[in-house]
A and B are shown apart, each in its own frame.
Chain A
Amino acid sequence: MTAPNQPAATSPAGSIYDLGYRHYEGVRHGRLYAMWSLYVESLRGVWGFGRPTTAKAAPFIILGIYSLLAIVQLAFSSVFAQAMARGDTVELLTYANYFATLSPFIVLFCIAQGPEVVCRDQRYSVLPLYLTRALSAVDYAVAKIAAFTTSLFVALMVPMIALFIGDVLMKADAFQAIGDEIPHFLPAIPASFLIALGLAAISLALSSFSPRRAYSAMGLVAYFLILEAVLASVFAIGVESSLEWTSRIKLLGPTSALSGANDWFFGIRPDPKTFGEVLGADAYLGAALLSVLVFTSILLLKYRRVRS
Chain B
Amino acid sequence: MTTQTQPVTEAPVHGATEAAPAIELKHAARWYGNVVAVNDITFSLGPGVTGLLGPNGAGKTTLLHMLAGFLGPSAGEVLVLGRSPHRDPSVYRQIGLVPEREAVYPFMTGLEYVRFNARLQGMPDADKAARDAIAMVGLTDAQDRAVGTYSKGMRQRAKVAGALVHDPQVLLLDEPFNGMDPRQRIAMMDLLGQLADRGRTILFSSHILEEVERIGTEILVIVAGRLAASGDFRAIRALMTDRPHNITIRSSDDRRLATALIADPAVFAVELQSDRLSIQTSHLSAFRRLIAGASRKADVRLLEVASSDESLESVFDYLVRR
CA distance A213 to B78 in the complex (A): 38
User: Does A267 touch B at the CB level, under 8 Å?
Assistant: no
User: Does A4 touch B at the CB level, under 8 Å?
Assistant: yes
CA distance A4 to B303 in the complex (A): 9
Measured between beta carbons, the chain B residues less than 8 angstroms from A4 are: 250, 303
CA distance A237 to B184 in the complex (A): 66
CA distance A4 to B304 in the complex (A): 11
A-contact 0/1 string along B262-296, CB 8 Å cutoff: 00000000000000000000000000000000000
A-contact 0/1 string along B202-213, CB 8 Å cutoff: 000000000000
B-contact 0/1 string along A176-202, CB 8 Å cutoff: 000000000000000000000000000
Q: Which size class do B's interface residues fall under?
A: under 10
CB distance from A307 to the nearest CB of B (A): 25
- Tell me the interface secondary structure of chain B in the complex: strand
CA distance A5 to B250 in the complex (A): 13
Measured between beta carbons, the chain B residues less than 8 angstroms from A5 are: 303
- Measured CB to CB, the nearest residue on chain A to B303 is A4
Measured between beta carbons, the chain A residues less than 8 angstroms from B250 are: 4
CB distance from A6 to the nearest CB of B (A): 13
- Measured CB to CB, the nearest residue on chain A to B250 is A4
- Measured CB to CB, the nearest residue on chain B to A3 is B275
Interface residues of B in 292-322 (CB under 8 A from A): 303
Measured between beta carbons, the chain A residues less than 8 angstroms from B303 are: 4-5
B-contact 0/1 string along A1-38, CB 8 Å cutoff: 00011000000000000000000000000000000000
- Measured CB to CB, the nearest residue on chain B to A5 is B303
- Measured CB to CB, the nearest residue on chain B to A19 is B303
CA distance A4 to B251 in the complex (A): 11
CB distance from A191 to the nearest CB of B (A): 45
CB distance from A201 to the nearest CB of B (A): 33
CB distance from A1 to the nearest CB of B (A): 11
CA distance A4 to B250 in the complex (A): 11
CA distance A1 to B250 in the complex (A): 17
CB distance from A3 to the nearest CB of B (A): 10
- Measured CB to CB, the nearest residue on chain B to A4 is B303
CB distance from B304 to the nearest CB of A (A): 9
- Measured CB to CB, the nearest residue on chain A to B301 is A5
CA distance A136 to B134 in the complex (A): 47
CA distance A50 to B250 in the complex (A): 43
CA distance A8 to B250 in the complex (A): 20
Interface residues of B in 205-258 (CB under 8 A from A): 250
CA distance A234 to B321 in the complex (A): 75
CB distance from A281 to the nearest CB of B (A): 50
CB distance from A306 to the nearest CB of B (A): 22
CB distance from A301 to the nearest CB of B (A): 28
CA distance A5 to B302 in the complex (A): 12
CB distance from A2 to the nearest CB of B (A): 13
CB distance from B131 to the nearest CB of A (A): 34
CA distance A153 to B192 in the complex (A): 59
CA distance A5 to B303 in the complex (A): 10
CB distance from A147 to the nearest CB of B (A): 31
CB distance from A283 to the nearest CB of B (A): 48
CB distance from A121 to the nearest CB of B (A): 20
Interface residues of A in 125-164 (CB under 8 A from B): none
Chain A contact residues, CB within 8 Å of chain B: 4-5
Chain A to chain B contacts (Cβ below 8 Å), 3 pairs: A4-B250, A4-B303, A5-B303
Chain B contact residues, CB within 8 Å of chain A: 250, 303
List of 3 A-B pairs having minimum Cβ-Cβ separation, nearest first: A4-B303, A5-B303, A4-B250
